[in-house]
Structure 1
Amino acid sequence: MLYNTDILGNFLESRVRLTHIDHNETLSLRVPTGQDDFNVGIGKYVAYISVYDEGVPYVVSSQRIEISRNKTSYLLYELLEGAGAGRPLGAFDQDGDQFLGRVEIAENTDPSDANSVPGITTLNWPAQYHSSEAGWLRGELHAHSKYGVGTEKVSRVIRRAEKLGLDFLAILDRNTLEAPLDPEFRSDTVVLIPAMEWGSDDKGVALVYSPRSLPMLPETSAEMGAMIRTIRRQGGLVYAAHPCYPIGSWNWNVDDLNGIQAWCMGWRSVPGITVNAVNEYNRILVDDRFVHPLAKAANLPGLSSNGQSTMYWDYELNRGLRLGVIGGSQTGSRKVRMAEPVTYVYAMEKSLQGILDGIRLGRTYISRGLDGPRIDWVGDISDDDTIDVSIGGMVPLDVETKFYCRIRGAKGKKLEIMLNGSPDASKMIPKDDWIFEYVRRPEDPVIYRIRIVTPPTEKGFGLLETVAMTGPIYVRGVMSDTLIDGELLKIENDYIDPEDLSSFMQYLENNGVGAKRVGE
């Protein structure tokens, strides 16, 4: 029986997680009234008692309890935190893992380390270091195995990636980490990213990369946000999967995400959703117009699922969020081709951490397949012959920036420079290795990205076939009158290493464009 109150005797909305000491099985019980009795199996347990604060459950007590036949056992707790100056419980959770610091100290875990959590085994994944060379790596970020909807063993999925010459592969099965824990989850040439699908078809599915433990399924948006923040503090990444897919559209918010999977399977192969697929609380109308970005995207007729997902991504970017973009094929057998689309990631090294960091920084673009277009896109802030920014970075307001875009493998297709989701400039691509140079002086915070499109040649959904698209370059920050010793204070792009783009810069110089590397 549970009794959970504050110091004034008020019962508190609670949750109890019982972990069996002998065989580590876990039972989670929601107690909205703060008091309840329930039947559990005989044995010794550790009970983690959580109290909800603004929709987020924080563990406020851990107790050892023994359940015996025909005998009532009691869990009694009186909460002291938050009773004085009205501080939220989150203020007592230093590392953001939803455990109060004093509980962690009592359980001998580190209250300042989100990876040190009472009662939860932290997973440590192999580093998989392959090369120290920086550059674009390509891979599959959404495959399945027999542990989910796929039909293949883990080893067979990996062999397919090796045969294609991919640099990385993520196998994601729904709400399980069995694939990355499989003994056959290994490769000498492909970096294998431990990952999982997380969620439900009812509210949406997230793609979680490099989780350090198996996250519980959330019940509220506040709880979902808190759990995403915990995963990210532990070093993981969380992306909304195919937000406008007919099954499993994303009805959570995106504020805490790393980004969005805007391209899933063939660009025009899956129809978009209707507004009826959007949960009721996301279908709010103001002046007869939808407010929520998902409802706005779903209300666009004739688009494919990917077309709507990209519009949804654009709407959220225009709210001021920084959200990266990835793609994936959802291959679960040889019937669905792997790496169509393929995600390119600029990584400082070919290793698990290098690839995760590249994705985290938004240094990605997507192409329709291994034979699809390749893109290099950089910017020279204030036209001083240095490269200051690349995909995922920022440029300042009210400063002239010269952009260089190199496109390979897209002759006869159309390059579009997108501004806040709409074409700002278009150009037919005249040859298979081509540089497009353009200058902008933005006066307002905006988002630039690139897409390459062509008229469709097969049946499908939507009027255009997108064959490649990049993550954004953001316009943010300082104004041109912000000077230090007479020099412009530029946006910090500290992850652009001076040697990162040396081969591309050499190419530009050889072709007469005249840009130099940073530091030259």
Structure 2
Amino acid sequence: MQGPQRRKAGIVVAVIGGIALSACGDSTVPGDGVGEAGRVRIEGRGQMVSSPRTLDCFADCTMPLAAGDRLLAIAARDWRFERWDGACAGQATVECVLPAGGSIEVVARFVPAPQDLSGAQWRRGDLHQHSDHSSDGSLGRQLGDDQAPGNMPLADIIAQAEAAGLDFLPITDHRTHDQHYDPQWESSGLLLITGEEANGSPHATVHGAVDMIDQNARIDGEPESRVVQESIWLAHSQGAAWVTAHPDDGSVDEGGVPNARADAVGVDLVEIWNRASYVEGEIDYVENRWNAGFRFGIAGASDNHFKELWPLGGGTGRPTTEVLTPELSDRALIDALRAGRTGVHSGDALSPRLRIDADFDGDGVFEVRAGEEVFVPAGTPGKLRVRIEQGLGNRVLVYAAPGRSAGALAEVIATSVIGFEELVLDIVAGDTPSWYRAEMRSLGLADPSSLLFGTVLGPYDLDNLFQQLLAQVRALSGPIFVSTAPVTPQGQHLPPPDRGTDDGAEYALGAPGEFAGFVDAAHDAASGRLHLVAEVHDAVSTRVHYAARAADGRWRAPLELSASTSARFPRIAVAGDHVVVVWQDERAGQIPRRAAIHARISRDGGAHFGDEIVVRAVDGRAMHPDVALAADGRAHVVWQQIRAGEPFDVWYTILDADGRLADPINLSRDGKEIVAASGLDARSARYPASVRPAIAIGADDVPLIAWQDNRFDIDPLWTGQAGSGEGTDPDDWQIAVYSPGRAIEYLGAADAADRHVDVIVDGLGRAHAVWTSKPLAAAGANLRVLAAVRAAGAASFAAPQAVDEFAASSARAPRLGLAADGAARLAWFDSRSSDWRWRVMSARFEQGAWRDVRLYGGRGVNTWPVPAGAFLAFATTRHAERVQRDRTQQIYVLDVEPSE
């Protein structure tokens, strides 16, 4: 393979947010030129990379540079690029072309651009709510060993949430994502977000994930925190929020002391008030973890399973979690949850509320909000403001670290009937980390429903009966953390230090402090160009970005392809100068959710793209597209689609080189048994789902299409039916494979969940399918990668084989591509590393089997790889400054077939 030659670079020391990092690795320079040692300096917060890529620079560093090289300035979250100085002075864009002559010194200046929350609003929701898609989703099922009919359909829960005036709602059913495939997952009155109550123990609610968060099996000799940590990192690899559910049940021992599971790092929120649990124990747990250096916000949860409690005030939204967001959108909401900008109150219209903020720069503006950290020198004076809304007759208590054990910092009786009052306290930053929070409690039986649900019928403590009966929790603020520098959690079962090495991967997309993920890649052998697309998130938006790497190692500056703030799941196909990108877009609205499929085409190798094309928009959701290019220039596109009263199906169309679309075809509807629910049993409905399609095309221009399908499950989308008890959990998903002129072939097994399929046709005309297979166990079971091949001209696929048997690890997200010589290459991410971090793996199909299995040990949590030519593109957290509260995930590219 022709490409950049390599020489060793020196050690670079960068200081990021007060933390010294060192990096040592390979540099790439074009041809035989070695360039000069250029000095690079960053003022503010950002990243600078060169093209051809050398070392990532975050502060002062040196790197080999030459005239004509390009430097790209990437602003960190809450910063913006202002200007170039030095050799690049006067160049007006974020990309600088280095001039010829003289020594090279470049300065990139970044200035603060914090998120503007002046117009933000508190949005109300419930982060923990169950339907009959859970194995014990309703009262009859819990009392009747899952034999009774269900009475908790999604439509009723959503209607109740709308009537309660909530703004958003996830349905967090136990260890399943299938509730989102139910046609009733639809609302015109509130924002529905994806949710799940994941894991075997401790339970966690995950918000914003794209699929089930399968918890790995425990490894003998490892602490129980390991599988929890892997679950957190798996959720964060998708940009989702991870919430510890009812920590008094699963995260503490019998004496209430946090156990090994509580040492997992990176939790975004903890349920400080779960209505079905002991709130006092949950408060104690939260304070204990904050005192140990863990940093997270708070959540409230109805944990509601029972419609019978709704008339008594025990339903959805009681208690309510409030979230401060600048807009009501999926991304803004998840971003705020991860930031901890939350508060909790009892949930009715007249509930008192608490807000907390702080001012540490003395300008009278309270810019530090609940959930946030502020780093100031010891001795810095500040003001803490507690805002009390409609709190008449309730006690407001303000606590600082170490919390309730030291007594309240301040206590007042609220006097406001409507409107608000404020309590302002003078505080001083100490030389040890601290935190502040506020809570409100009733004087007497102010809330009878609180007394009934969560006290008399829930866990209670006789030693604190007075507090439970006559001093009920009414509202809780999120915390404000104050310290001199970022805090490291303390515990006996923390994740090991990162043992990754410098793998020589090159930066491609994403900014420090932000999320980039779900990359797709395509390599054009004729031009040597590598093309990438990925999601890039900021505080309120998800956008599709494109980047390209030329054969000589030079990169183009990233290009934003989507004209909306809700573009997701991009896929790319390339043939010579013909480039097609498709993605899912919700610019038509998220209330109700109205995803559509969009596309853009380039005819000059990605230098320019034409106008957007709407491939599919329906009165429903068209999602998760994939695309392949035929030799005749036509793009073949597949996606999953749902409408009211219908199941998810896989659809297919052809987009010609001029942007014209063929009539779409439903590939998966034939043979499905569809049954609407009876009024007596919510679980009697049957809407088999066909989802997550993948497509490939070989030299014969015949498409190969596959998807996961649960039509053969005994109760598709459910975990049991009346009279039969629990069913499969997860469903008996199988892999459907289709080509025109052939009957659909189903791969997989009835005793496993076969999901996450990908396909390709290699240079010898062999069709390959790969997928993950999991035993029908809700949690604590590992996934493995299975593969099947169909020889050119063969009638069917050979029996599936495991790609890499390693019992102590779990494998995720297999993707296929063609190596530089036309052989099939497979990539996935895996949990076998000794430092617990997910790492990328690959294999090649050689001599009739998957061989040359490799584990790539680069630094960080490395996930969602895609092979393309000689390269692997993947998401990585390698430049995150902290294990907790740093969302940095970027896209990098690794040359896995370097020239000698």
Q: TM-score by structure 2 length?
A: 0.33
Larger Rg: 2
Q: In the aligned structure 1, how far is the partner of 2:301 from the partner of 2:120?
A: 23
Work out which of the residue numbers 334, 338, 362 in structure 1 matches 2:340: 362
Aligned residue number for residue 348 of structure 1: 326
Contact 1:204-1:248 within 8 A present in 2 as well: no
Cα deviation for residue 436 of structure 1 reads: 1.0
Instruction: Report whether the alignment pairs 1:390 with 2:375.
Output: no
* Higher percent of residues as helix: 1
Relative to its length, the structure with more strand (as a share) is: 2
Q: Which of 232, 238, 263 is equivalent to 2:236? A: 232
Question: Offset of 1:247 from its aligned partner?
Answer: 11
Counterpart code for 2:435: I
Aligned to 2:392: 411
Q: 1:385 to 1:208 in 2, by over 3 A?
A: same
Q: Alignment partner for residue 333 of structure 1, among 303, 306, 310?
A: 306
Contact residue 324 and residue 336 of structure 2 kept, 8 A: yes
Q: Is the 8 A contact 2:354 2:440 kept in 1?
A: no
Compared CA separation, residues 247 and 360, structure 1 to 2 (3 A): closer
Secondary structure of residue in 2 paired with 1:228: helix
Is 2:429 aligned against 1:425? no
2:237 equivalent to 1:256:
no
- Could you tell me how far apart the structure 2 residues matched to 1:353 and 1:248 are? 32
Which residue, 266, 269, 275 being the options, matches 1:265? 275
Q: CA deviation at 1:478?
A: 5.7
Amino acid at match of 1:467: R
Tell me the distance in 2 between the aligned counterparts of 1:162 and 1:431. 28
User: 2:423 matched to which residue of 1?
Assistant: 436
> How far off its partner does 1:167 sit?
0.2
Aligned residue pairs, count: 313
Equivalent residue number for residue 360 of structure 2: 381
In the other structure, the counterpart of 2:246 is 242
Counterpart in the other structure of 2:284 = 311
2:459 matches 1:473: no
Question: Could you tell me how far apart the structure 2 residues matched to 1:260 and 1:161 are?
Answer: 22
CA distance in structure 2 between the aligned counterparts of 1:199 and 1:246, rounded to whole angstroms: 11
Counterparts of 2:539 and 2:250 in 1: how far apart (Å)?
Answer: 37
1:208 aligns with 2:206: yes
Asked if 2 retains the 8 angstrom alpha-carbon contact of 1:133 and 1:350, the reply is no
Structure 1 spans left out of the alignment, 5+ residues: 1-131, 271-304, 480-491, 497-520
SS state of the match for residue 377, structure 1? strand
RMSD: 2.7
What residue number does 2:120 align with? 134
Give runs of aligned pairs for residues 449-488 of structure 1, distance below 5 A. 449-457=437-445, 458=451, 460=456, 461=460, 462=464, 463=467, 464-477=471-484
Deviation at 1:308, TM superposition (A): 0.5
Rounded Cα–Cα distance in structure 1 between residues aligned with 2:250 and 2:230: 27
CA contact (8 A) 1:372 1:467 kept: yes
Alpha-carbon deviations, 1:398-424, whole Å to 9, x = none? 211112222111111111111122221
> Conserved in 2, the CA contact under 8 Å of 1:134 and 1:350?
no
**Shift in Å, 1:133:** 6.3
Q: Deviations over 1:338-357 (max 9, x none)?
A: 21100100012101111111
Gaps of 5+ in 2: 1-117, 139-150, 219-224, 446-450, 487-512, 514-537, 541-900
Q: Secondary structure at the match of 1:219?
A: coil
Cα gap change, 1:245/1:391 in structure 2, threshold over 3 Å: closer, same or farther?
same
**How far apart are the structure 2 equivalents of 1:158 and 1:214?**
21
Separation of aligned partners in 2, 1:430 and 1:223: 48
Q: Which residue of structure 1 aligns with residue 382 of structure 2?
A: 401
Q: Which amino acid aligns with 2:327?
A: E
Q: Secondary structure at the match of 2:128?
A: strand
Identical-pair percentage: 25
CA distance in 2, matches of 1:181, 1:324: 30
Tell whether the 8 Å contact from 1:348 to 1:358 is kept in structure 2 after alignment. Answer: no
Q: CA deviation at 1:333?
A: 3.4
Task: State the distance in 1 between where 2:539 and 2:217 align.
Answer: 37
- C-alpha distance in 1 between matches for 2:410 and 2:251: 35
CA distance in 1, matches of 2:359, 2:424: 11
Picking from 361, 372, 380, the partner of 2:351 is 372
d(CA) in 1 for partners of 2:238, 2:164: 32
- Residues 326-379 of structure 1: CA distance to partner in whole angstroms, max 9, x if unpaired? 011112233232211001000121011111111110000000113211223222
- CA shift digits 1:257-305 (9 cap, x unpaired): 2121121116xxx5xxxxxxxxxxxxxxxxxxxxxxxxxxxxxxxxxx1
Residue 130 of structure 2 is aligned to residue 144 of structure 1: yes
8 A contact 1:205–1:248 mirrored in 2: no
DSSP 3-state at the match of 1:179: helix
Tell me the amino acid that sits aligned with residue 372 of structure 2.
Answer: G
Contact 1:406 1:434 in 2 (8 A): yes
Shift in alpha-carbon separation, 1:153–1:495, aligned structure 2, 3 A: closer
Q: Deviations over 1:217-248 (max 9, x none)?
A: 22233233123112112101111110114899
Local SS of the residue matching 1:156:
helix
In structure 2, how many angstroms separate the alpha carbons of the residues matched to 1:436 and 1:425? 9
Residues 245/382 of structure 1: CA separation in 2 closer, same or farther (3 Å cut): same
TM-score (norm 1): 0.56
CA distance in 1, matches of 2:285, 2:380: 29
